[in-house]
A and B are shown apart, each in its own frame.
Chain A
């Protein structure tokens, strides 16, 4: 659905002669029906990437195709078949909710504009307020109206640029629920966010991005590849010699002590935990608890972004 190869974008900087490298050498594939999370801090180049993929701005280098249409060659086809929720809703504040959608239904050449407008006003719970000016809406309602606008022409691929940023928790929850529903309809969704929790909950795969793509995988696999699986043994007292003894076991990849806890990295804990446990008991340890150490996506993200910052300094 979305294929990207070596995509780069440079902007002219604020002072003449300088350049801003917003996106560098991005390569990526998003499959049909997938919800892809594009995760990165502010200024990472997320919006720039979305704009390139929606044929709003031209890439400096590289190529990309959306829905089988090449960016830069079939731009009109791309615009017809993708939907975009822009970073700011950009509604016509003086026009009613209905009039806002009507304009876009017509510009997208929707066969029956009135029906499409009605359907999406209803789906997003805005039908009762259809005659009210968009300017009078709360932030959450504005965002919903903007989402409705992106869906009028039934796009196969949907780009959502920070769909919940700036919303109160309740409105953000409603928007997330709606995205989950959309996903059920088999649409391909490319979602940018700087909210880790959101990416973790909504997305099939996540790309960690800060000008360059630093990692792409499922949330679970990202945790695993970075940290392996880790088990914590809480002990009443920890003898440093036990750490080496456990580390010497064939299936253990790494063992380290943190306070009175022994942290062990290993494959398939289900099979190997009992072995370690027996060994520890044989050594005379009092084991109080055993648990799996789960890393949050936040750890992963911070690790990448900090690594990047260190590499630069």
Chain B
């Protein structure tokens, strides 16, 4: 445990000197909380009185049931923002891990590190946690800001209840960490093979595709982001994470890290 703490502290001291990483972990989650709030604020006047059902997918109208159509529109809008909170825990660890591994490779600092009595498990856990912890904290922070902002931009009470529903908490509290574990292991694998952190980030970025699937599925009315879907996604992610951790531990052995990560 002590070794992992040492490693995490070192990772943070190093990686947070990188402006891209600081922006990704600090500013971006803030922006992604404020952006939806801004949109809700500007849409407020246009949606309340209206009631143009044709704008909403039928599945959404069905899900709204007795809720007034104006409020339903707000909930629909709100649901479009939910994937943002699943994307943050995806790209933040990718940014951190990409810079961390590629950095170690360019300075060739892995060899002295591997010569210490740190175990490979401690090394990988340290690297992974150094990326996962800021990602989860930034996501949660962003979500809290979003929740606080909702009443301030005039969200209706059904909309507020939606954001405070188990569906949303499942997405942020459960899926967030699971996504970030997946992202960090994937990024470790990718960045161990390439020598440019930006390339590593871009390749790892393909993970965003399934999340975009949620966004467009919802827009097209094929999907409704409900608790059942969230729990299914979480279970799927948990299985993938376990498999990745298992493979990662076999893949990243001392000699492999030393001789192949270059």
Name A residues whose Cβ lies closer than 8 Å to a Cβ of B. Answer: 11, 51, 54, 56-58, 76, 79-80, 82, 84, 86, 88, 90-95, 99, 103-104, 106-109, 146, 149-150
A104: which B residues are within 8 A, CB to CB?
112, 116
Binding site for A on B (CB under 8 A): 2-3, 6-7, 9-10, 13-14, 17, 107-119, 254-255, 258-259
Which residues on B sit within 8 Å (CB–CB) of A54?
115
- CB-contact partner of A107 in B13, B108, B109, B116, under 8 A: B116
B117 contacts A108, C-beta separation under 8 Å: yes
Q: Quick one: which of B10, B17, B107, B255 contacts A103, CB cutoff 8 A? A: B10
Residue of A nearest to B6 (CB): A106
When C-beta atoms are compared, the residue in chain B nearest to A83 turns out to be: B115
The listed residue (B10, B13, B17, B116) touching A108 by CB distance below 8 A is B116
A-B contact pairs, 18 of them (CB 8 A): A56-B114, A56-B255, A57-B259, A76-B117, A76-B119, A80-B117, A84-B112, A84-B115, A86-B115, A90-B107, A90-B110, A90-B113, A94-B17, A103-B7, A103-B9, A103-B10, A107-B113, A107-B118
A57 touching B115 in the complex, CB below 8 Å, given contacts A95-B13, A103-B10:
no
Tell whether, in the assembled complex, residue A88 and residue B17 are in contact, meaning their CB atoms are under 8 Å apart.
no
Query: Which listed residue, A56, A80, A84, A92, touches B109 by the CB 8 Å rule?
Result: A92
* CB closest chain-A residue, reference B14: A94
Do B258 and A107 touch (CB < 8 A)?
no
Docked Cα-Cα span, A92 to B110, in Å, equals 10
Asked if residues A57 and B255 are in contact (CB atoms below 8 Å), the reply is: yes
Expressed in whole angstroms, the minimum distance between the Cβ of B258 and any Cβ of chain A is: 6
Give the residues in chain B near A57, CB-CB below 8 Å: 254-255, 258-259
Task: Note all chain B residues with C-beta closer than 8 A to A80.
Answer: 117
Are A58 and B117 in touch, CB under 8 angstroms? Answer: no
CB-based contact B109/A90 at 8 Å? yes
Complex alpha-carbon distance, A45 and B7, angstroms: 31
Task: Say whether B17 contacts A86, CB under 8 Å.
Answer: no
Q: Which residues of B contact A93 (CB under 8 A)?
A: 107
Within 8 Å CB of A82, what residues of B?
A: 115
- Interface contact A91-B107, CB-CB below 8 Å: yes
Provide the bound-state CA to CA distance between A93 and B107, in Å. Answer: 7
Measured between alpha carbons, how far is A76 from B119 in the docked complex, in Å? 8
Distance in angstroms between the alpha carbons of A155 and B3 in the assembled complex: 19
Residues of B within 8 A of A84 (CB): 112, 115
Complex Cα–Cα for A147 and B109 (A): 14
Residues in chain A near residue B117, CB distance under 8 A: 76, 79-80, 107-109
- B2, B111, B255: which contacts A86 (Cβ < 8 A)? B111
- If A54-B115, A86-B115 touch, whether A92 touches B10 (CB-CB below 8 Å) is yes
Q: What 3 pairs across the A-B complex have the smallest Cβ distances?
A: A90-B109, A107-B116, A106-B6
Report the bound CA distance from A57 to B259 in whole Å.
Answer: 9
- Residue of B whose beta carbon sits closest to that of A149: B112
| A51-B258, A106-B3 as given contacts; A95 in contact with B112, CB under 8 Å | no
Chain A residues contacting B3 (CB-CB under 8 Å) are 106-107
